[in-house]
Amino acid sequence: MLNSTVIELSDALAAKKVSSVELTRLYLDRIKGLNGQLNAFITVDEERSLAQARIADERRSRGEAGALTGVPVAHKDIYCTRGFRTTCGSKMLANFRSPYDAHVIERFNAAGAVLLGKTNMDEFAMGSSNETSHFGPVRNPWDPGRVPGGSSGGSAAAVAARMAPAATGTDTGGSIRQPAALCGISGLKPTYGVVSRYGMIAFASSLDQGGPMAKSAADLALLMNAMAGFDARDSTSLERPAEDYGRELKLDVAGLRIGLPKEYFAEGVDPEVLSRVREAIRWFESQGAETLEITLPNTGLAVPVYYVIAPAEASSNLSRFDGVRYGHRAKDYADLNDMYRRTRAEGFGTEVKRRIMIGTYVLSHGYYDAYYLQAQKVRRMIAKDFTEAFTRCDLIMGPTSPSTAFALGAKSDDPVQMYLNDIFTIPAPLAGLPGLSIPCGFDARGLPVGLQIMGNYFAEARMLGAAHRYQQATDWHLRAPNEAPL
């Protein structure tokens, strides 16, 4: 049961082979057994989850169940949840209890899903290794000496270790796709505006996008059907007709034009990662897909652009944490300004403070044009590279991350090395495009490798279709780590 996909669990619930209470209990026990070692969850509340499971079972007995009714889903601790505390991985919000639910949480509640707990994350989603969390690092279930990736590292580790059948994440510069790759699971960052940001604690508002994480692409489609949709409370939420994200799961791969950006297959990428990615691409070719080399010439500028725009937006968004309306307040201070300065010095961790100060600097008088405006212009150049590319191909494939999971502490002292790790995941959110990562094999150490599939705006269904066809022919996505025996 623990190794089942969401679709299999949904079928088992519908066939009354298992109740939601039994299923929830199974996962809660699993969390109890493994969380001490992996630290994937910040908050678990067994009573509350079981109460939701009982309600789901009652709903089913009334004949009112949908596909996700009774299915336990873990949520990244960036989503505001009534009842469960919401910390965003920060000391600033260590005791914060949200008075409202995020739109994504409302959607899962409406579908009758069970909230299994809140997963660990880099503080305010700022990190690629889950080492910046106030609640300690998450460990990679494939090798506990290594990072799970970040910032949705708790969600990725939880799914990989079978502590949850599915989880939510958020992606600003790769925070769904990179941990999915490093933990050997599937994860989708949708087109900007498809999933509401209401109640998703803001990091960089022009980039942030919520999305699902699970074992399989077919599960991601099912979860997207619940998560996506218009919400008037997010000013950038898109008003579009509802769509079935699973409608292209029977996609015929033959004739599909797959672009391979030469910048993604360059020096600096781990040769084993490139081999696994090339093997996956060869499978698509063997099914009749056409591959062509393309160029995304401004790829090398994506990381510098991101580290202007994301910190600039963060410095503005995080100004709300002032020790007045919610969150931490310093004990000793001389006056109002001193209260702000000490509150923020104590409540934020090193990486968050670093990014707020970078953002403050690039927005400050005399530097705005040189940094912020220039970055916004280069951002458009990066978006145009993709527009050009998608005139020639339907999908773009390449590695999600230049390496497999690295050791805890290996990059935590060198911010620039850490940032460069996201070179292949940062371009899609800069352009607002969707991207997903699926497992495509292992390196010699037994660590998972991720294949990234990017598509044009609103091409999620096709991307999921291609991923699903690959997963029907392979079983990488069903492999579970030995470190977390079933």
Partner 1 sequence: MSLTPDQLQRIALLARIAVSPEEALGVTDRLNQVLGLIDRLQAVDTRGIEPMSHPLDAQLAVQQRLRSDAVTEADRRADFQAGAPAVEQGLYLVPKVIE
Q: Provide the minimum distance between the beta carbon of 83 and partner 1 in the complex, in angstroms, as a whole number.
A: 13
Using rule CB under 8 A, residue 281 touches partner 1 = no
Q: Which pair of structure tokens corresponds to residue 243?
A: 């769509």
For residues 186-205, which are near partner 1 according to CB under 8 A?
191-193
Closest CA to 117 of 38, 226, 59: 38
- Residue given tokens 């916004």 in the structure block: 376
**Distance from C-alpha of 272 to C-alpha of 256, rounded to nearest angstrom:** 26
Q: Which stretch binds partner 1 (CB under 8 A): 66-74, 125-133, 195-203, 322-330?
A: 322-330
Q: Which stretch binds partner 1 (CB under 8 A): 162-170, 213-221, 369-377, 446-454?
A: 369-377
Q: Provide the minimum distance between the beta carbon of 346 and partner 1 in the complex, in angstroms, as a whole number.
A: 8
Peptide bond just before 90 cis, omega within 30 deg: no
Q: Which stretch binds partner 1 (CB under 8 A): 14-22, 34-42, 126-134, 318-326?
A: 318-326
Using rule CB under 8 A, residue 442 touches partner 1 = no
Using rule CB under 8 A, residue 322 touches partner 1 = yes
Q: Which stretch binds partner 1 (CB under 8 A): 64-72, 125-133, 288-296, 323-331?
A: 323-331
Q: Provide the minimum distance between the beta carbon of 243 and partner 1 in the complex, in angstroms, as a whole number.
A: 16
Closest CA to 220 of 200, 252, 254, 195: 195
Which one of 110, 336, 407, 473 is in contact with partner 1 (CB under 8 A)?
A: 336
**Is 206 in the active site?**
no
Q: Which stretch binds partner 1 (CB under 8 A): 8-16, 137-145, 273-281, 424-432?
A: 424-432
**Distance from C-alpha of 390 to C-alpha of 259, rounded to nearest angstrom:** 8
Nearer to partner 1, 80 or 438 (CB): 80
φ, ψ of residue 203 to 5 degrees: the values are: -110, -70
For residues 297-316, which are near partner 1 according to CB under 8 A?
301, 303-305, 307-308, 315
**Is 175 in the active site?**
yes
Which one of 380, 403, 442, 480 is in contact with partner 1 (CB under 8 A)?
A: 380
Residue 420's H or E segment, with its range, is helix 415-420
Using rule CB under 8 A, residue 78 touches partner 1 = no
Q: Which stretch binds partner 1 (CB under 8 A): 13-21, 195-203, 330-338, 460-468?
A: 330-338
Which one of 264, 284, 340, 390 is in contact with partner 1 (CB under 8 A)?
A: 340
**Distance from C-alpha of 471 to C-alpha of 473, rounded to nearest angstrom:** 5
β strands within 200-254, DSSP E: 209-214
Give the Cα-Cα-Cα angle 267, 421, 87 (nearest 5 degrees): 170
Q: Which residues contact 12 (CB under 8 A, 6 or more apart)?
A: 1, 4, 18, 23
**Distance from C-alpha of 323 to C-alpha of 93, rounded to nearest angstrom:** 10
Q: Provide the minimum distance between the beta carbon of 371 and partner 1 in the complex, in angstroms, as a whole number.
A: 7
Mapping DSSP to helix (H, G, I), strand (E, B) and coil, where does residue 107 land?
helix
Closest CA to 135 of 181, 76, 182, 188: 76
Q: Which pair of structure tokens corresponds to residue 16?
A: 């009354």
Closest CA to 405 of 449, 453, 351: 449
For residue 421, give Cα distances in angstroms to 143, 160, 216, 407, 464. Answer: 19, 21, 24, 13, 25
Nearer to partner 1, 381 or 486 (CB): 381
For residues 102-141, which are near partner 1 according to CB under 8 A?
none
Using rule CB under 8 A, residue 268 touches partner 1 = no
Q: Provide the minimum distance between the beta carbon of 19 and partner 1 in the complex, in angstroms, as a whole number.
A: 33
**Distance from C-alpha of 40 to C-alpha of 53, rounded to nearest angstrom:** 21
Using rule CB under 8 A, residue 257 touches partner 1 = no
Mapping DSSP to helix (H, G, I), strand (E, B) and coil, where does residue 177 land?
helix
Closest CA to 292 of 255, 266, 267: 255
Nearer to partner 1, 286 or 387 (CB): 387
Which 8-state DSSP code applies to residue 371?
A: I
Using rule CB under 8 A, residue 327 touches partner 1 = yes
Which one of 91, 457, 474, 478 is in contact with partner 1 (CB under 8 A)?
A: 457
Q: Write down the catalytic residue from 90, 151, 155, 401.
A: 151
Mapping DSSP to helix (H, G, I), strand (E, B) and coil, where does residue 40 land?
coil
Q: Provide the minimum distance between the beta carbon of 437 and partner 1 in the complex, in angstroms, as a whole number.
A: 20
Which one of 96, 265, 283, 442 is in contact with partner 1 (CB under 8 A)?
A: 96
Q: Provide the minimum distance between the beta carbon of 457 and partner 1 in the complex, in angstroms, as a whole number.
A: 5
For residues 38-67, which are near partner 1 according to CB under 8 A?
none
**Is 61 in the active site?**
no
Nearer to partner 1, 141 or 427 (CB): 427
Mapping DSSP to helix (H, G, I), strand (E, B) and coil, where does residue 74 land?
strand
List, by residue number, the catalytic residues. Answer: 76, 151, 175
